[in-house]
Structure 1
Amino acid sequence: MLGMSPEIEAFAAHLAQVERASAHTLRAYVSDLRQLAAFLGERGIALDAATRDDLRAFLASRFSANTAATLARKQASLRAFYEHRVRMGHLADSPARRLVFPRRRLSLPNVVAVDDCFAIVDAPSRRTPAGLRDRAALELLYGAGLRVSELVGLDVGDLAHESVRVRGKGNKERMVPLGSRALDALRGYLGRRPELRPKGSALLVNRRGGRLTARSVARHLARYAAIAGAARHVHPHALRHSFATHLLDMGADLRGIQELLGHASLSTTQRYTHVSAEHLLQAYEDAHPRARKK
């Protein structure tokens, strides 16, 4: 690859061919490592000569310009790269092993109110194939908690009796159950899908018959949120956040939510417990007579 050191190029090939990393993960890791190589190069340090202190200095240089999630990913990139160098026999030990860096407080997910979610999902027309498609898409985002990339990657063959097979991050598959509203929306759309003249197996197709894109989903969602009079700008991931938070509000088990969302780590899912607690506190302050300010 153009402008890439042999060390990074070998690691990128390993990610693509052995780990089967997604294109998004591959781009992110390579970008992180190019930044590291540039940082070290300015100091006359080769990638294989970097120490733990050098890596800490690199992360510190990115602290103000990146979110907590991005910094955490950069740490993961460094660990994966140097572990690969050790496995290949180029290093005796990884300088990224036990690499600890002060974490920022993770920002809490944006959550849309239940009434707004219902209004958004009900906004598309039920009279047109495109409207029925959009209603089905919104039901899968909010009713099943899919990532938008998972949504647009669905094929018709991924639909089962009352569930859908989803390919998540790292091409990991999971089965997600579908509620009655999502099933009704899908049946309504599938009955009219042929009118969009699909050119392949994609579940959600555009007016030209091709696979619907994530950008199109975001654009349609913004329009329906405006029609519904939602209190804030709504993006596809906000519906996924709302799916998880509303389940917690209703007493769902955290481990079950982790499986539904396809999170590899429970700590990722635990962010929603803080949001759920805030929601409950706000509901108490808004509604309970003992909480109202005098």
Structure 2
Amino acid sequence: MAEPSEGLHAALAEWLSHLRGLSDVSDHTLAAYRRDVAGFLGFLQSHHGESLGTARIATLGPSDMRAWMAHERNRGLSARSLARALSSVKSFIRWLADRDGFDASHILSARSPKYQRKLPRPLSEEAAVEMISQVDTQAMEPWIAARDAAVLTLLYGCGLRISEALGLTGDAHPLPEVLRIRGKGDKERLVPVIPAARAAVSDYVRLCPYPVETGGALFRGARGGALNPRMISKAMERARMALGLPSTATPHAMRHSFATHLLAAGGDLRAIQELLGHASLATTQIYTAVDAARLMEIYDKAHPRA
């Protein structure tokens, strides 16, 4: 198979560097982007039997995209994984088109394969509260128990992502009535803070043996460094075993529960979108399906079939 041109190698590296500097994209995500785009470029070179440069990318058409997607499906890639790879490829080509000044609309028009999105698995209101109460009592060190409870209260009470909660610094204490959160894609949003969350964080700070410092991590690990999200996951693992909850009771499920319970209480979908920091309303609309599924489950239990 022909080797990629040096220009194409350099373009891919430049794009990844651009992404790394633009937002808080993780190394894991960047590795996935690199793998997706490199696989696409490798296919094109094999498909055309020649080494492709950046200029050649501008001449690609819908047939090239269809051939690549067919190749990926034939080698066993799922529709969901292919959709993710296509998103990576489009992002790279869109960036390259902007950099080199060519029209990529004929490439970007390739449709993503349809797949059934997995519905979020929220906890019930009772289980979410029990989860917070459980982690508040299970750690040997009172300050660690208070810390874990404070983090989960922020996830469930304010709809924060675990990365957003652990990204808070000492500047955020005492928590205001409205938090300014910088989320995915470096986008900012305003999130109301419920009294329970303010109280939980205050309890944690009062018990924490490490001083709250401006610019330093608000939530600390046992040795004083920034808290690793894995420690919250482990605390929830212990708690869900004690409570008899399923493995889907994860930190992200607390955020799902926040959105689902708000919707069930009559919350406006647009408002929930803003609170969660979703770029697209379509992402938030999945919670309408979750709520409908929950209602059908209740209905089936109340009216069992003969």
**TM-score, structure 2 normalization:** 0.83
Find the counterpart in structure 1 of residue 14 from structure 2: 10
Whole-angstrom CA distance in 2 between matches of 1:252 and 1:132: 30
Quote the Cα distance in structure 2 between the aligned partners of 1:100 and 1:157. Answer: 45
User: Partner residue of 1:292?
Assistant: 304
Are positions 1:36 and 2:48 aligned together?
A: no
Deviations, residues 113-136 of structure 1 (Å, cap 9, x unaligned): 222111111112357000000000
Q: Which is richer in helix?
A: 2
Deviation at residue 94 of structure 1 after TM alignment? 4.6
- 2:293 corresponds to which residue? 278
* Match status 1:244 vs 2:259: yes
Q: Which amino acid aligns with 1:82?
A: I
Structure 2: distance between partners of 1:117 and 1:60: 43
User: Cα deviations across residues 243-262 of structure 1 (Å, max 9, x unaligned)?
Assistant: 11111111111111101110
Residue 184 of structure 2 is aligned to residue 169 of structure 1: yes
Q: Residue 72 of structure 1 aligns to which amino acid in structure 2?
A: A
Aligned in 2, Cα 1:131/1:174: closer, same or farther, shift over 3 Å? same
Aligned-residue sequence identity (percent) comes to 34
AA partner of residue 52 (structure 1): P
Q: 1:89 to 1:258 in 2, by over 3 A?
A: same
Amino acid at match of 1:122: S
2:134 aligns with one of 123, 129, 134: 123
Relative to structure 1, the CA distance from residue 233 to residue 108 in structure 2 (aligned partners, 3 Å threshold; closer, same or farther) is: closer
Give 1:261-272 correspondences, 5 Å limit: 261-272=276-287
Q: Residues 95, 35 of structure 1: CA spacing in aligned structure 2 closer, same or farther, 3 A cutoff?
A: farther
Q: What is the CA distance between 1:112 and its match in structure 2? A: 1.8
Counterpart of 1:65? 77
Amino acid at match of 1:55: M
Counterpart for residue 152 of structure 1: 166
Q: Which residue in the other structure is 1:23 paired with?
A: 26
1:164–1:177: 8 Å Cα contact kept in structure 2? yes
Question: What's the secondary structure of 1:174's corresponding residue?
Answer: strand
Distance 1:66 1:230, change over 3 A: same
| 8 Å Cα contact 2:23/2:184 also seen in 1 | no
Q: Which stretch of the first structure deviates more once superposed, 203-212 or 106-115? A: 106-115
The answer to whether the 8 A contact 1:136-1:185 is kept is yes
The yes-or-no answer on 1:75 pairing with 2:86 is yes
Unaligned runs of 5+ in 1: none
Provide the residue aligned with 1:86 in structure 2: 97
Q: 1:222, 1:233 within 8 Å by CA — same for their partners in 2?
A: no
Q: Which whole-Å CA distance do the structure 2 matches of 1:21 and 1:156 have between them?
A: 20
Amino acid at match of 1:56: R
Matches within 5 A, 1:212-251: 212-251=227-266
Residue by residue, what CA displacement relative to the aligned partner does 1:68-96 show, whole Å, maximum 9, x if unpaired?
3x443323322222222222236444542
Query: Aligned residue for 1:114?
Result: 125
Q: Would you say the 8 A contact 1:56–1:101 is kept in 2? A: no
Corresponding residue for residue 104 of structure 1: 115
**Amino acid aligned to 2:42:** A
Q: Deviations over 1:175-212 (max 9, x none)?
A: 2112222222111111112x146787111111100111
Measured on the aligned residues, the alpha-carbon RMSD in Å equals: 2.5
Structure 1 residues 28 and 171, CA gap change in structure 2 (3 angstroms): farther
- Give the whole-Å Cα distance in 2 for the aligned partners of 1:261 and 1:61: 37
Q: Per-residue CA shift, 1:86-112, capped at 9, x if unaligned?
A: 222364445422111331121111222
2:181, 2:191 within 8 Å by CA — same for their partners in 1?
yes
Instruction: Give the match for residue 64 of structure 2.
Output: 54
